[in-house]
Structure formats: structure tokens, C-alpha cells
């Protein structure tokens, strides 16, 4: 056992077509495609203009995370109005972080060590909807809405609401955000900046049933299907989802009798520079 090995001792996730890690694994095992094609009526109800539907480059497909409007506000000490002003990304990430710690078997109020948070989210599309309602903005206040939707506050909100005293660190590297958050958290554990760490990310676009435009040479799929590792692969369909893992130094996890899901042997970071 090396000193820089890190254990995953808990996890939680919410994905299109899967409310938890177990259901997500079943979908992967059974080859379930969780991308859905939206009907014209669904798109119209989501506010998509009829002219968009007639555009041949428009693809009416996407991945939908269910129940993004539901949130246990009272459990986390939010008033109903404050909860309404929160980006669903911040709401659901807070829930997933709590459930990940629960899965690891730890109560943040009684754990004696430092728990760090390393996380990132997508740009808030919910903020745009709130700004289109001046009456609500005036009622809640711009600063409250800003803090509840700006991605800079994702990690610190979790630390504040769960009373975590380790580093609270936002990671923003586009598609690699969640993976990099895990690598940064592992480094923090190895250097003893914290004793346990939550690492992960979330992306929820509002409205979810919106579709997208296909552009030749771009990364989007022309037909609304992903064919990963397949010779017929043509592109991606952006998804919504959330995931958090709980990390601890491997030697500490073994000493504490934690259930170990996996071991991170190490990580390395780089960039392609101008040769992408």
C-alpha cells in the first residue's frame, strides 16, 4: 500500500433514467438508452418555437433528470422562497452530497476530522428564467438570487449547510470538471489538507426538454443518439446528471473499517496546448 493511494468509501448519483447508482448500473448492464426524443407537444410546452421544430438541423432529443423541481428545503434549513430562488443544480448537488456521506456511513456533525468539498457545475440556465420575472427578483433580492445561482458558490454552500470545515474548492474545466475534482481532492488528502473529501459535479439545463442544433463538424450527434466506442459514433448528446464520491486516504479507510468501493492509485494532469 502506497502513501498516495486514496479510497472511494461512498458515492451517490442521479442520472437520466436512474435515481441512484444501483439503477444506473442496471441500465448500463442492460444496454438501456436514457436519451429520449421529445414530441412536438412537449417541446411547445417547454417554450420551443414552432419555427425551430421546422428547422432540419434541429434535433429533438436530450436527457432528462426527473424531479428537478423537488427539494427537501426544510431538511437543509431553507425557507420555501429561498429554495425557489436556488438553481436546481445547487439544490440537487446538496442532496447528493448528503446521501454520499450517508452511503459512506458518516454524519458530518459527529465526524471529528476535516471534510473538504471539491465540485463544479454548469452555467446556470435557471438564473435566466428568474431574471425574466422582475417581481420575483425584487421580492427575493438580486444578491440572494445571484448567490443561489452563480457556480462559484456550489462548493461553499455544501460546506456551509453540512457544517464541513475542510477546504471548499470549486473546479471548473468544462467536460472534465467532475474527473478533475476527484484528482484535486485526492491530492488534498495525500497532502493532509483534509481527512475526507466530497468530489463531484452536476449539470442541469433548464428547460430539460429543449433539443439542440446539429452543426457539421461539431460535437453534437446528428440523430440524437450516442454510440460510445462504436464505429458508427457520430457525436454526443449533452446530458443532465449529478455525482459525488467520498474519498479518504486508503490507510485511514482500512484502519477505520470503511467499506471500500475502489482505490485510486494516482492521477496526472496536462493539457493539449495548441495541438488539439
DSSP 64-128: --TTTT---TGGGT--HHHHHHS-HHHHHHHHHHHHHHHHHT--TTT--S-EEEEEEEPPPSHHH
Give the per-residue pLDDT at 176. Answer: 94
Give the per-residue pLDDT at 256. Answer: 97
| Rounded mean pLDDT, 13-29 | 96
Give the per-residue pLDDT at 119. Answer: 98
For the domain made up of 6-264, the CATH class stated in words is alpha beta
pTM: 0.94
Q: Mind listing the pLDDT tens digit for each residue in 249-269?
A: 999 999 999 999 999 999 988
Q: Where are the domains of the chain?
A: 6-264
Residue 168 clears pLDDT 80, i.e. is over it = yes
The residues near 166 (Cβ < 8 Å, ≥ 6 apart) are 113, 114, 115, 116, 117, 159, 188, 193, 194, 195, 196, 197
The band of 47, judged by pLDDT with boundaries at 50, 70 and 90, is confident
Average pLDDT taken over every residue of the chain = 94
Give the per-residue pLDDT at 50. Answer: 87
Distance (Å, rounded) from C-alpha 85 to C-alpha 143? 11
Amino acid at each position: 500500500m502506497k502513501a498516495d493511494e486514496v479510497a472511494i468509501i461512498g458515492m451517490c448519483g442521479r442520472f437520466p433514467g436512474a435515481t441512484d447508482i444501483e439503477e444506473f448500473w442496471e441500465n448500463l448492464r442492460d444496454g438501456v438508452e436514457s436519451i429520449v426524443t421529445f414530441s412536438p407537444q412537449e417541446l411547445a410546452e417547454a417554450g420551443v418555437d414552432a419555427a425551430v421544430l421546422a428547422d432540419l438541423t434541429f434535433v429533438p432529443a436530450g436527457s432528462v433528470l426527473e424531479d428537478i423541481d423537488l427539494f427537501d428545503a426544510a431538511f437543509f434549513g431553507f425557507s420555501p422562497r429561498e429554495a425557489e430562488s436556488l438553481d436546481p443544480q445547487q439544490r440537487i448537488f446538496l442532496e447528493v452530497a448528503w446521501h454520499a456521506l450517508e452511503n459512506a456511513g458518516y454524519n458530518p456533525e459527529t465526524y471529528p476530522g476535516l471534510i473538504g468539498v471539491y465540485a463544479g457545475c454548469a452555467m446556470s440556465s435557471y438564473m435566466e428564467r428568474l431574471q425574466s420575472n422582475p417581481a420575483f427578483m425584487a421580492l427575493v433580492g438580486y444578491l440572494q438570487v445571484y448567490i443561489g445561482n452563480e457556480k462559484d458558490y456550489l462548493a461553499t454552500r455544501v460546506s456551509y449547510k453540512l457544517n464541513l470545515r475542510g477546504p471548499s474548492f470549486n473546479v471548473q474545466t468544462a467536460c472534465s470538471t467532475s474527473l478533475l475534482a476527484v484528482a484535486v481532492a485526492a491530492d488534498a488528502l495525500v497532502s493532509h489538507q483534509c481527512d475526507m473529501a466530497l468530489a463531484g459535479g452536476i449539470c442541469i439545463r433548464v428547460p430539460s426538454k429543449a433539443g439542440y442544433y446539429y452543426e457539421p463538424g461539431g460535437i453534437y450527434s446528428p440523430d440524437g443518439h450516442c454510440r460510445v466506442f462504436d464505429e458508427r459514433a457520430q457525436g454526443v448528446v449533452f446530458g443532465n446528471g449529478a455525482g459525488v464520491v467520498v474519498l479518504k486516504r486508503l490507510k485511514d479507510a482500512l484502519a477505520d473499517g470503511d467499506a471500500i468501493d475502489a482505490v485510486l492509485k494516482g492521477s496526472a494532469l496536462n493539457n493539449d496546448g495548441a495541438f488539439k
